[in-house]
Amino acid sequence: MIHRDSPAERSFHTPLEQQEIRYRKGDTIELIITDHAEKDKCFGKTAEGMGVMVSGILAPGDRVSAQVYKVKQRYLEARTIEVLTPSPDRVEPVCPVFGSCGGCKWMHVSYEAQLRYKHKKVTDSLAHIGGFENPSVLPVLAAPDALHYRNKVEFSCSNMRYLLQTEIDSDELARPKTFALGFHAPGNFEKVLDLDTCYLAKPCMNKVLNLVRDFALERGLAPYAAKAHEGYLRNLALRYSERHDQLMVNIVTSWYDAALMQALKERLEAAMPEQRMTILNNVTTRKNTVATGEQEYVISGDGYVTERLGDLDFRISANSFFQTNTRQAETLYDQIIAVGGITPEDTVYDLYCGTGTITLYLARHCRQAIGIEVVESAVRDAEMNAELNGLSNTVFFQADLKNFHAMQEALAPYAKPRIIVTDPPRAGMHPKALDTMLKLQPERIVYVSCNPDNLARDGKEIAARGYKMSSAQPVDMFPQTNHIETVACFERVE
């Protein structure tokens, strides 16, 4: 349906193929949302059959009115005006600032529906991008906790607080306009939404968030101004070890103030006496909002936390990578072992091994696990974690996967892999790295991906080089968001 000022323009009494319907910028249209699309948009069709990419907080099944802002040859782009009839998949978001905060995208959708949408996303990517006919995508493995599951959260501090529409409408400020500690507003690197509670963070993290905010306001600490590159308090990065109940509090500032850090330490310890805690101060002068420092000061505790996956312990420092959902990380790694068919006689290569969590998890089930990673500091952490767990059947290399000949030379003393596990960045594997992996000719490739589109793209090339995809197992690591992890298995065709 399309609404315009002229009644003639609103009347369409002949079939679509017998008339030319012209849409214009500013038109108001009605449509049913049928699917999710890229960049947080949804897709639907008008009654006349025109495809529309719609922005807004939507769910498949919603009937909406929207205003066209771009007209293309094959589709329209529009912004939601109103949800006329809500989808049966909709629920009331538990977070009062949902929609203003950029963290959760699907909190307005029931968890059962989230799993259904994610399964469809993986299936569609493999079919349409990868060219896999009727891909065998297993049901999504649901997270045991749909809320409060994150073991790492990074809050930002800003001198520009993002104002909620209710404040703008009422003309009353609920809090100071020049201080905020929370998450950046979507698409805005300067303004921060001031938060009391993140519903994905652990309760102890939210308690620290409010304690640090109160301390900063009492002391008059200057929040960081991203554009002017001024101010003291930049970030609050928190990590939590679920298995050992350890909390890391990392204050990121523009300079070091020993007396101030001591006072904050005393405040936190007095307010949370039962909590095992380490407190750090990362100091940076960089002109960005990334929560890492050039110098690190340990204010109290060991300066790291230790988390357990299976029967292995991993030491996690402030700036090292670790899966943000501890329970689902175990599920993910168990799936790698299951679909890989790993035996005690196998040599397994783990590409993009990072700090070695997957490599070490695999090492308990095979003869030798070899981890390959380009980042030197990650390799050092991996070797330290191997020593921490007493695993002597692991080897870690700092190597560039794009250089096949260098890889061949480094790995010459070791057995060829029967199984290769690859867990590349979200962008997928570089074509040269993919070529290196395929030249090693393993019997089985286990591809772990957080981006279904790039899994499909790389999977298409793997299939073209003599492999068939035997299974794809989605694992929901990130409830309330549109992200999904997938463990896909490719077997060499003899």
Burial class (CB in 10 A: 0-12, 13-18, 19+), 36: buried
- Please give the backbone phi and psi of residue 169, each rounded to the nearest 5 degrees, phi first: -70, -35
* Burial call 186-207: b when 16+ CB within 10 Å, e when fewer: eeeebbbbbbebbbbbbebbbb
Q: Report how far apart, in Å, the C-alpha atoms of 220 and of each of 178, 214, 282, 283 are.
A: 11, 10, 20, 19
Q: Where exactly are the structural domains of the chain?
A: 2-85, 116-145+325-492, 152-309
CATH of segment(s) 152-309:
2.40.50.1070
- Reported as a pLDDT band with limits 50, 70 and 90, residue 18 is very low
User: How many angstroms separate the Cα of 446 from the Cα of each of 366, 424, 451?
Assistant: 15, 11, 15
76, 70 contact by CB (below 8 A): yes
Give pLDDT, residue 2.
Answer: 53
- The pLDDT score that the predictor gives to residue 47 is 85
Q: 216, 179 in Cβ contact below 8 A? A: yes
CATH number listed for the domain at residues 2-85? 2.40.50.140
Q: What is the pLDDT of residue 170?
A: 80
Nearest to 439 by CA among 466, 421, 472, 471: 466
Annotated catalytic residues are 450
pLDDT for residue 16 is more than 70: no
Q: Which amino acid is at 390?
A: G
Q: Is 354 exposed, middle or buried (0-12, 13-18, 19+ CB in 10 A)?
A: buried
Tokens for 291?
């929560």
Q: Is 152-309 the same fold as 2-85?
A: yes
Measured between alpha carbons, how far is 298 from 283 in angstroms, rounded to an integer? 11
CA distance 51 to 385: 52
Written as one letter, the residue type at 365 is: H
The pLDDT confidence band at residue 174, using thresholds 50, 70 and 90, is confident
- Provide the pLDDT for residue 131: 96
Check whether 4 has a pLDDT greater than 80.
no
> Does residue 459 register a pLDDT over 90?
yes
Class of domain 116-145+325-492: alpha beta
- Which residue, among 166, 201, 196, has the nearest Cα to 181 in the 3D structure? 196
CA–CA separation, 274 and 276 (whole Å): 7
Q: Decide if 233 contacts 224 (C-beta within 8 A).
A: yes
The single residue listed with the structure tokens 């629920």 is: 91
The region of weakest confidence among 5-9, 88-92, 349-353, 486-490 is: 5-9
172-181, 440-449, 467-476: range with lowest mean pLDDT: 172-181
- Range with lowest mean pLDDT among 111-120, 230-239, 371-380, 445-454: 371-380
Which token pair is 53?
A: 């990419």
Per-residue model confidence (pLDDT) at position 351: 96
Q: What is the mean pLDDT of residues 7-20?
A: 39
State both tokens at 226: 């991203």
Per mean pLDDT, which range of 60-64, 99-103, 306-310 is the poorest? 99-103
Checking if the pLDDT of 11 tops 60, the result is: no
Round to whole Å and give the CA distance between 480 and 91.
12
Tokens of 470: 């035997």
Q: Which two tokens stand for residue 127?
A: 């079919």
Q: Of all residues in the chain, what percent carry a pLDDT higher than 90?
A: 78
Does residue 234 or residue 168 have the better pLDDT? Answer: 234
Res 448 pLDDT > 80: yes
CB-CB contact of 417 with 442 (8 Å): yes
